Amino acid sequence: MENADTIAAVATPPGRGGIGVVRVSGKDIKSLTLKVVGYVPEPRYASLSKFYDEDGQVIDQGIVLFFPAPHSYTGEDVLELQGHGGPAVMNLLLSSCLSAGARMAQPGEFTLRAYLNNKLDLAQAESVADVIDASTSEAARCAMRSLQGEFSSAIHVVVRALTDLRISVEASLDFSEEEIDHVHHADVSHKLKSVQAQLEHVLASARQGSILREGIWIVLVGQPNVGKSSLLNVLAGEEAAIVTEIPGTTRDTIHRTIEIEGVPLHLLDTAGLRETDDAVEKMGIARTRSTIEKANFVLLVMDSRWGITSEDRAILDSLPSGLPVIYVYNKIDLLDKSSLIEAGNGELEIYLSAITGAGIETLRQKLLELAGWQPRSVGEGAFMARQRHLRALTATREYLGNAAELDKEEFQSELLAEELRLAQQALSSITGEFGADDLLGEIFSRFCIGK
């Protein structure tokens, strides 16, 4: 793809820093480079240069790098100006580039051009933002694997296998009069099962990556003064919330993110749920109920001395239907009771002490288990997947399941071919590749159909 205009932007975060970078990309930016730098640098060599404004005055001095097309991030000519990282200097340098013929880049436009110029596929392009936004070291490594193309490669393996299966089915339908070796029904079934198995492996890895990317949102709810804030503090490893004996101390939602085995856990301590005439506390309770709607899990914190009370059951009844709840009985130190886990009637109960730390590690591991996180050896092969990727993989699984059912019946080849087409369409949406013309090309490249 060719873009008529040249774009420029500050590529480093706002604020003061030792170094700041202005990036420029366009079809031919040599004339802009001459105006801002005074000469066109040797490709891919760092040069110490002066930077000039539109009046020829020196703005700054720093490193200039020139990457001619197509060997650049965007696939276009790219110029990087590395100067001193003060906001005023960066603004002057950017203004000079704009005066020399560039325009301000839109958010993500450099990566968009990289995708449109076939430097990255869609999954890799999304991984650029995931690397930047990664909240844990494990998430950063996972995002980098996706950026380097491991996720896309895994998708391509399944797409190739699915293409091979579609060729076998569709060629026999569309070109039945030609001299083509028809694939037996058993062979089609075998190939279909193989594709399904490959997809399940990719889906499992993608789900692990989604946990790393999104994290787990956990809301602590319960009556006032049962130890929610103390539990948040011990899980977070810091005094994130004020702890007192006065009910209603927590008036607003407190958010802390912790890391367990590389997985980000977003902990939300909320105002105690109770009837109150305090206007400020009422606002906190309203925010609590709004926060609960977004949670993956709810920790219902209770005082182990009293067990589950009618007030606790009222809180349970107010929670959204289907939201997983872990029953946490706190303050076992006051009962001289050891920590333990009990499961009754399908409900998980954890006994612990936020003061002594007894049972805290058990709670951490149970949260990972309930979220679907696998051991580190599995997580190391995870792909940084977004919700759209999971939806596409799940849709592909459904289409393949439909195809498997049709494969059991006779004279259903047309419907089987359609389910396989939909499966490939859903799967290929992850990387933004493959269409009907691609399948036709594959068919003609493998079979001597016409003369």
CA 99/CA 193 separation, integer angstroms? 60
What number of CA atoms fall less than 13 Å from residue 48's CA on the CB side?
A: 0
Which token pair is 400? Answer: 């393949």
Higher pLDDT among residues 251 and 112, named by residue: 112
CA 376/CA 426 separation, integer angstroms? 29
Q: Strand 216-222 vs strand 297-303: parallel, antiparallel, or unpaired?
A: parallel
Kindly tell me if the per-residue pLDDT of 450 is higher than 90: no
Tens digits of residue pLDDT in 260-310: 877 888 888 765 544 555 555 566 566 666 667 777 888 999 998 888 888
What percentage of residues in the chain have a pLDDT greater than 90? 28
Kindly tell me if the per-residue pLDDT of 361 is higher than 70: yes
Give the pLDDT band (50/70/90) at residue 3: low
Q: Which domains does the chain have, with CATH numbers?
A: 7-119 (3.30.1360.120), 137-211+386-446 (1.20.120.430), 215-377 (3.40.50.300)
CA 231/CA 218 separation, integer angstroms? 12
CA 89/CA 92 separation, integer angstroms? 5
DSSP 3-state assignment of 212?
helix
Tens digits of residue pLDDT in 319-333: 878 888 889 999 988
Asked if residue 298 lies in contact with residue 326, where contact means CB atoms within 8 angstroms, the answer is yes
Q: Which pTM does this prediction carry? A: 0.69
Give the pLDDT band (50/70/90) at residue 432: confident
Helices (H) and strands (E) in the chain, counts: 15, 13
| 3-state percent helix, strand, coil for the chain, nearest multiple of 5 | 45, 20, 35
CA 79/CA 65 separation, integer angstroms? 6
